[in-house]
């Protein structure tokens, strides 16, 4: 796929499974993430069918039992965040883009990079294997709160609970190994001439996100060891009867869990920045503003975590503090979106598929951000907490991040990754089909949530005060929209696979972009650059007055 | 290279000797029988020892300046974590709430240890 | 190694890549130990009754181990000095002495834990003991990892290869030492 046969062609295993080439590792992460996305989507399909048509046969699954329902929602959340969003946004794009965009031949530590993927692969195997053990996969929610998660008698999935913890811990190790590589490579491996403010925004964002991940995950690694000991070795770290405190887990989890949102958000914002500048044919408005707001998000993200715990029994005075910081963090993020809109203003916009996805990201993420205000303020959160309003809000942030921005990035860099162009018509059909159905899935959930529908309920029929038959049609609409959404993804899969062989051949720079990855052939050969590039200017010099072409690649002297 | 570790090696054995003396002082702390003095000695000396090791053995003093900032930011975020969690976990009562299980554990422990315990 | 990528040999940030990565590893380790120790400290302050459990630890064993680690740190930094002057054989000797220090530390630890377990104090004996074994165990794993890596680097250094690694494993070792400098009063002296 990637290596031109300069010397002896490496064997299948050396090339695809034990490669140290950053592009191959990126593809491994990408395809693993996509396979996991199919599994996560299948789980969502099963439990949405259960919610729309309670206790009936689900085609392709069977009747869902209450325990299985818990496992389904838990594993859907876990897989989509830790095994789809993280590997695709951070690891796949990070691995593929960082060395190419900063103009070097590989990661600083290629073998540690390979180890990172191998540990990640192992973590995925452990997680998927937990479906097969006695009691089934973990059913204590993706946040894994004790005492529910600490005692098998409570969560009814004693083996699955521990396997879940081990899998998550392995996954963290994988991203620590990969992440340190990202940071060090970007700091030390830049091409001559590339100063701090010449680094493309997406690389900045991936590195900032990585540092954020490295700093927030440590306490949770310690906390996960403690929870594992509670499960297996009879300690009482989170057992109030024995001097422990279950709130400690919540704090350690969200000290990581909330920055985690920004860990995946920042790369998504970076991808959107690249796409917007290229397809508006205009210099990115306020490069430094974006960076400074990203730093502000970075700092603030470490002081907002307890807004997930307003109803968990934290002190109301602390809840006030965390309400304020939470509302504050929306300011830099809003500013960033304004900067992107300002970039569009006066540009000559080309509505190619990547641009459509980037624009959709801004529109949909805006809804996610605005509904977050209700949950960040502790007063309203007490009502909305644990309703489908939270679910809808969450998906209005995470679907733009992990689906929409990823499609923007994939459709934009596909020619560079595989040397072929995607089909534009299919791309646009897929775009409109996905965006419309996505809104039809989640807008009804805002309504049912506001009406009081609790999440994590297997069947409303068993709770008289929860039944609300008048809302059932909304639950059905949401499920049906999901079915259509999934059907539209088949178009993307077809387009992706068909274009690999039959797409139009991509030249080196089909989008006429400035960043360094577009100066090498598509797909880039082993070692990336035939001659190591030198950088002369920032990455967003589009439509410079007095130049014949409307773009000005970073490595062209004048 | 901007950090000249060559020709910048302080007298390591001397620093080691200082560290060992400090260690002995902190071990002798409990013998005084004065609780606050013992704690002050134990943790004050730990900070001093950590500073000496970081400065002279890890060469933070001649490393690029931002490395020191990186370490300080890391420690500061741990302090933030502590400040955000302690009001709920360290304290056993607050505004409109109390943690009865923890209070009982403390009381039971105090009885078991006898009245001399603080 | 001739197969190293160009990315490894560049140093746009102004310090060698090996040392840069060491510092980032240490920064992320600070958060693992920091989270655990912060949890311990807030529990300890909230539960004065844990002092009765803490009274059963062997201060002399902890003090001896502190001495062993401090001394091994001295050897590590002397290895760095030797590597700086290009004397790989001498650096390897000091690295092996450091590894010996780490091994001694683990032996004393094993001896100490055996006594405590025989006296009936195990991981699940109470809040203090849970934190005691978890924190010291996590630290012990870092000592073990350091010893193993150090022996590999010593073998390289003895052939005058990869001498820049001597300094990096030293920095890591001093960090492990500093963690113990704080664990010692937290687990042994304060009661």
Domains of chain C by range and CATH? 16-189 (1.20.120.80)
Residue whose C-alpha is closest to residue B22's, from C181, C55, C102, C139? C181
- pLDDT-derived band at B33 (thresholds 50, 70, 90) equals confident
CA distance B4 to chain C (A): 10
Chain B residues within an 8 Å CB radius of A306: 84
Chains linked to A by 3 or more Cβ pairs within 8 Å: B, C
pLDDT tens, A13-69?
777 778 999 999 999 999 999 999 999 999 999 999 999 999 999 999 999 999 999
Token reading at C65? 């181990």
- Give the model confidence (pLDDT) of C132-191 as tens digits: 999 999 999 999 999 999 999 999 999 999 999 999 999 999 999 999 999 999 999 987
Q: Where are the alpha helices (DSSP H) in A345-404?
A: 353-376, 378-384, 388-399
Residues B19 and B3 in one domain: yes
Rounded to the nearest integer, the mean pLDDT of chain A is 94
Alpha carbon distance C12, A94 (integer Å)? 19
B114 has pLDDT over 80: no
Q: What's the rounded Cα separation, in Å, for the pair A229 and A149?
A: 12
Q: Could B92 and C34 be called an inter-chain contact, meaning their C-beta atoms sit closer than 8 Å?
A: no
Q: Hey, is the C-beta of C40 within 8 angstroms of any chain A C-beta?
A: no
Closest CA to A397 of A80, A117, A145, A39: A80
Chain A residue whose CA is closest to B94: A315
Query: Å from B24 to nearest chain A CA?
Result: 31
Q: What angle do CA C8, C11, C15 make, to 5 degrees?
A: 110
Residues B81, B103: one domain? Answer: yes
Q: What does the alpha-carbon distance between residue A161 and residue C61 come to, in Å, rounded to a whole number?
A: 37
Question: Please, what's the b/e burial string for C144-176 (b: 16 or more CB within 10 A of its CB; e: otherwise)?
Answer: eebbebbbebbebbbeeebbebbbbbbbbbbbb
Query: Do B38 and B19 sit in the same domain of this protein?
Result: yes
Instruction: Show the tokens assigned to A259.
Output: 């920055």
> Rounded to 5 degrees, what are φ and ψ at A62?
115, -165
Query: 């300011």: which residue's tokens?
Result: A331
Identity of the residue in A219, A240, A306 whose CB atom sits nearest the CB atom of B101: A240
Q: Which residues in chain C have Cβ-Cβ distances shorter than 8 Å to B63?
A: 15, 19, 23
Check whether residue B5 and residue B44 sit in a common domain. Answer: yes
Ranges in chain A, pLDDT < 50: 1-6
The string of pLDDT tens digits covering residues B49-66 is: 999 999 999 999 999 999
The residues with which B39 forms a beta bridge, in sequence order, are none
- Which residues in chain A are closer than 8 Å to B81, comparing Cβ atoms? 219, 251, 255
Name the nearest CA neighbour of A312 among A499, A159, A145, A97.
Answer: A145
- Alpha-carbon distance of A282 to A541, in angstroms, equals 7
Number of domains into which chain B is organized: 2
Closest alpha carbon within chain A to C139: A222
Q: How many CB pairs under 8 A join B and C?
A: 151
Is the same domain home to B1 and B49?
Answer: yes
**In this structure, are B73 and B59 located in the same domain?**
no
> What number is the ipTM of this complex?
0.95
Find chains touching chain B: ≥3 CB pairs under 8 Å: A, C
Radius of gyration of chain A (CA): 23
Nearest to A243 among C24, C34, C47 (CB): C47
| 8 Å CB contact of C34 and B63 | no
Looking at the structure, do residues B71 and B55 belong to the same domain, yes or no? no
Residue A387, beta-bridge partner list: A454
**Got the DSSP string for A207-271?**
HHHHHHHHHHHHHHHHHHHHHHHHHHT---TT-GGGT--HHHHHHHHHHHHHHHHHHHHHHHHHH
- Average pLDDT of B20-46? 91
pLDDT range class, residue B35, cuts 50, 70, 90: confident
- Using an 8 Å Cβ cutoff, are C86 and C163 in contact? yes
Partner-chain contact B57 C35, CB within 8 Å? no
Would you identify the CATH topology of the domain A20-519?
A: Cytochrome C Oxidase; Chain A (1.20.210)
| Domain-wise residue ranges, chain A | 20-519
The answer to whether residues B104 and B55 belong to one domain is no
Total CB pairs under 8 A between chain A and B: 55
How far apart are the C-alpha atoms of A82 and A99, rounded to whole Å?
A: 24
CB–CB of C47 and B3 under 8 A?
A: no
| Neighbouring-strand partners of residue A265 | none
Per-residue pLDDT tens for C163-180?
999 999 999 999 999 999
Q: Which domain holds residue B75?
A: 65-118
Interface membership of B12 toward C (CB under 8 Å)? yes
Cβ pair C31:A216 closer than 8 A: yes
User: How big is chain B, counted in residues?
Assistant: 118
| Rounded Cα gap, residues A325 and A307, in angstroms | 9
Contact A2, A523 (CB under 8 A): yes
B89–A247 CB contact, under 8 Å: yes
Q: CA C152, CA C132: separation in Å to the nearest integer?
A: 31
Q: Assess A222–C contact: CB distance below 8 Å, yes or no.
A: yes
């Amino acid at each position: 796929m990637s290596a031109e046969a300069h010397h002896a062609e490496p064997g299948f295993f050396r090339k695809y499974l034990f490669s140290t080439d950053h592009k191959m590792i990126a593809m491994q992460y990408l395809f693993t993430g996509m396979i996991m996305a199919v599994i996560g989507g299948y789980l969502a399909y099963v439990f949405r069918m259960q919610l729309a048509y309670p206790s009936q046969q689900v085609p392709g699954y069977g009747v869902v039992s209450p325990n299985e329902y818990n496992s389904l929602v838990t594993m859907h959340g876990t897989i989509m965040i830790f095994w789809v969003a993280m590997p695709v946004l951070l690891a796949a794009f990070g691995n593929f883009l960082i060395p190419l965009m900063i103009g070097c031949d590989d990661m600083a530590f290629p073998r540690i990079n390979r180890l990172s993927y191998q540990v990640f692969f192992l973590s995925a195997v452990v997680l998927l294997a937990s479906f097969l053990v006695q009691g089934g996969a973990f059913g204590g929610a993706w946040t894994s709160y004790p005492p529910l998660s600490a005692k098998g008698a409570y969560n009814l999935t004693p083996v699955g609970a521990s396997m879940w913890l081990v899998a998550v811990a392995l996954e963290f190790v994988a991203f620590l190994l990969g992440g340190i590589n990202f940071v060090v490579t970007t700091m030390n491996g830049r091409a001559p001439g590339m100063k701090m403010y010449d680094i493309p925004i997406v690389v900045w964002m991936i590195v900032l996100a990585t540092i954020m991940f490295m700093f927030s995950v440590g306490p949770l690694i310690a906390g996960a060891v403690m929870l594992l000991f509670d499960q297996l070795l009879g300690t009482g770290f989170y057992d109030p009867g024995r001097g422990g405190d279950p709130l400690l887990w919540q704090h350690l989890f969200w000290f990581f869990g909330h920055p985690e949102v920004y860990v995946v958000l920042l790369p998504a914002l970076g991808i959107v920045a690249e796409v917007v500048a290229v397809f508006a044919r205009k210099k990115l408005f306020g490069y430094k503003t974006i960076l400074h707001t990203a730093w502000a998000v970075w700092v603030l993200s470490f002081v907002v975590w307890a807004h997930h715990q307003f109803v968990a029994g934290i002190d109301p005075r602390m809840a006030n503090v965390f309400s304020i910081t939470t509302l504050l963090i929306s300011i830099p993020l809003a500013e960033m979106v304004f900067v992107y809109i300002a970039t569009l203003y006066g540009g000559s916009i080309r509505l190619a598929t990547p641009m459509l996805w980037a624009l959709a990201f801004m529109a949909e993420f805006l809804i996610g951000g605005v509904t977050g205000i209700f949950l960040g303020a502790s007063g309203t959160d007490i009502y909305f907490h644990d309703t489908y309003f939270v679910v809808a809000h969450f998906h209005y942030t995470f679907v733009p991040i992990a689906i929409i921005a990823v499609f923007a990035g994939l459709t934009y860099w596909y020619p560079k990754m595989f040397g072929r162009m995607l089909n534009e018509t299919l791309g646009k059909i897929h775009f409109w089909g996905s965006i419309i159905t996505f809104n039809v899935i989640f807008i009804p959930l805002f309504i049912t949530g506001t009406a009081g529908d609790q999440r994590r309920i297997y069947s409303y029929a068993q709770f008289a005060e929860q039944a609300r038959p008048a809302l059932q049609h909304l639950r059905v609409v949401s499920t049906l929209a999901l079915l259509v959404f999934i059907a539209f993804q088949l178009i993307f899969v077809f387009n992706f696979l068909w274009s690999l062989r039959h797409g139009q051949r991509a030249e080196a720079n089909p989008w006429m972009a400035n960043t360094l990855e577009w100066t090498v052939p598509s797909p880039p050969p082993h070692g990336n650059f035939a001659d190591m590039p030198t950088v002369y200017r920032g990455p967003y010099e589009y439509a410079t007055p007095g130049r014949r072409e409307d773009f000005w690649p970073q490595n062209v002297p004048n | 290279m901007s950090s000249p570790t060559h020709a910048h090696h302080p007298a390591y054995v001397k620093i080691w000797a200082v560290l060992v003396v400090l260690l002995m002082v902190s071990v002798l702390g409990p013998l005084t029988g004065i609780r606050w003095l013992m704690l002050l000695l134990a943790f004050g000396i730990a900070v001093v020892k950590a500073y000496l090791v970081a400065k002279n053995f890890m060469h933070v003093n001649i490393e690029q300046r931002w490395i020191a900032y990186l370490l300080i930011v890391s420690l500061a975020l741990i302090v933030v974590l502590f400040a955000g969690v302690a009001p709920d976990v360290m304290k056993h009562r607050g505004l409109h709430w109390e943690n009865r299980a923890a209070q009982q554990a403390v009381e039971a422990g105090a009885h078991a240890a006898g009245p001399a315990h603080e | 190694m001739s197969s190293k990528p160009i990315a490894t040999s560049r140093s746009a940030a102004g310090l060698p890549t090996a040392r840069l990565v060491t510092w980032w590893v240490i920064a992320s380790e600070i958060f693992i130990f920091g989270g655990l120790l912060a949890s311990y400290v807030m529990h300890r302050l909230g539960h004065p009754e844990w002092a009765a459990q803490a009274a059963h630890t062997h201060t002399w064993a902890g003090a001896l181990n502190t001495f062993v680690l401090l001394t091994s740190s001295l050897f590590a930094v002397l290895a760095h000095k030797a590597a700086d002057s290009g004397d790989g054989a001498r650096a390897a000797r000091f690295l092996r002495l450091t590894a010996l220090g780490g091994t001694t530390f683990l032996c004393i630890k094993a001896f100490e834990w055996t006594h405590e377990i025989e006296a009936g104090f195990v991981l699940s004996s109470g809040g203090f003991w849970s934190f005691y074994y978890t924190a010291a165990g996590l630290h012990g794993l870092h000592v073990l990892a350091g010893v193993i890596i150090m022996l590999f680097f010593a073998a390289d250094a003895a052939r005058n290869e990869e001498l820049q690694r001597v300094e990096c494993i030293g920095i890591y070792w001093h960090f492990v030492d500093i963690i113990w400098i704080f664990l010692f009063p937290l687990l042994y002296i304060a009661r």
